Homo-oligomer: A and B are copies of this chain.
Amino acid sequence: MADHGDRVDVEQHRADVAELLAPLADRPQEVVPLHQDVLGRVLARDVTAPGALPRFRNSQMDGFAVRAADVAPAAPGVPVTLPVAGDVAAAPGEPAPLEPGTAVRIMTGAPLPAGADAVVPVEDTDHLTFNGSADTSGGGTVAVVRPRTAGEYVREPGSDVAAGDVVLRAGTVLAPHHVAAAAACGITRLPVLVPVSVAVVSTGSELVPPDGEPGPGQVWDANGPALEAAVRAAGGRVGLRVSVPDDPEVVRVALERAAALCDLVLTTGGVSQGAYEVVKDALPEVTFRSVAMQPGGPQGLGQVGGRPVLAFPGNPVSAQVSFVVFLRDLLRRAGGLPPVDRVTAVLDGAVASPPGRRQLLRGRWVRDDAVAGTPRVAVVGGPGSHLVASMAAADVLIDVPAATTTLEPGAEVAVWPL
């Protein structure tokens, strides 16, 4: 391809797309039951505890609930012996109050009887262990060999969280331990951000659907399934996925419908310099430009029906690279997710690159456990933008700056994880 002087720099196009999509970051909220899959969803606002946790005073140990004053004189060799009135297990109900001068066996998490203010661990008594010996009737005695002050081994109500305290912060990406905290507080529903809804519109008269049988000149639509997967992987939702022929009227109708249904419209195909560029024809109000990058040079951005639209090239490799470079992080950020960090890696071989265009080469990690430090990458497949099957062997995109024409083995490069 000859070099045109009017190419737009990759970072300029990234900035323009970011400006176009900025309104998407103003997400609406929805409430999701905790028993649905909330993992990876993003909390829309702070969530507070409806009540205190622990809910009631309870024992931190298997041991004996006592009045601290009763065991104050205890010491090794000089035990305090108390009658045992019975057991308190972690079970429903209010235990009977503790009579002064007595003890009850108490299990971890069981409610402290009224009147008790400390727990003596079973190891600090002549029982040593309970070992599964249930005894609800009482009648025995316990010799306490160590004093305990009031409050020892007692979990006070609200010592984990008080009613009204923030348990989960807005912006939290929900993980299992957040589910644990919510469930422990009796929270059954969580307010989360509504994912960005994206319409994926593949254009091209040559396309047949995934389950179709292509005839001469026809190919399967790879961009529809692949961009749907890419949108989902970036935390978005696909609100519409269609494939339309190269007819500007049909494309226009499809894009207006897509804009009415979704937050963002994504098209593939019909944006290049050929004679049949249907997206260009259907969207005269959109800016089409050549970005100084390979693959993925031809790009469009603008609005249709008041919604942002991004037009990617139709080649599946170009479309995937366009998604990673221009949309993935913006979609993640709009939905409250952190961006995918670019990583510094060391090249495992030499790379030649044409001048004036940023190359995004498909690369794979080279595992070498013997060498610590910077990870290594090697180029896979060729630079051809039609090598979509070869792209399956890639782990990353290797980012070769526009001004670079050769990179020696061992050179440091930035890579985008796929």
Contacts and interface: CB of A to CB of B under 8 A. Distances in A.
Interface of A: 1-2, 34-35, 37-39, 49, 53-56, 60-62, 87, 89-95, 105, 107-111, 121-124, 129-135, 155, 159-161, 165, 167-169, 172, 175-186, 188, 204-206, 210-211, 214-230, 232-233, 246, 272-277, 280-281, 314-317, 319-320, 323, 384, 386-394, 418
Q: Which 5 A-B pairs have the closest CB atoms?
A: A180-B226, A181-B392, A2-B123, A161-B389, A184-B222
Contact of A389 (B49, B122, B214, B246): B49
Task: Classify the secondary structure of A's interface with B.
Answer: loop
Contact of A320 (B176, B204, B214): B176
Contacts of A56: 216-217
B134 A62 contact: no
A111 B109 CA distance: 74
A254 to B, nearest CB: 18
B386 A90 contact: no
A176 B90 contact: no
Given A176-B230, A388-B160, A91 B132 contact: no
A34 B219 CA distance: 17
12 contacts: A34-B225, A55-B218, A56-B216, A62-B275, A89-B276, A108-B272, A111-B216, A180-B319, A183-B220, A183-B221, A183-B316, A185-B220
B109 A418 contact: no
Contact of A388 (B38, B181, B276): B181
Contacts of A131: 273, 275
Contacts of A227: 176
A206 B107 CA distance: 12
A381 to B, nearest CB: 8
Contacts of A172: 392
Contact of A226 (B130, B179, B277): B179
B214 A275 contact: no
Nearest to A40: B233
Nearest to A321: B177
B214 A181 contact: no
Nearest to A385: B60
A226 B388 contact: no
A168 B392 contact: yes
A204 B108 CA distance: 12
A107 B275 contact: yes
Given A180-B320, A180-B391, 14 more contacts: A2-B124, A53-B389, A62-B275, A89-B205, A89-B276, A108-B272, A122-B273, A132-B281, A133-B275, A176-B320, A177-B391, A177-B392, A182-B392, A184-B389
A354 B123 CA distance: 17
A119 to B, nearest CB: 12
A92 B389 CA distance: 22
Contacts of A169: 393
Given A1-B121, A108-B272, A121-B1, A394 B184 contact: no
A418 B175 contact: yes
B229 A179 contact: yes
A388 B53 contact: yes
Contacts of A384: 60, 155, 159-160
Contact of A107 (B53, B161, B274): B274
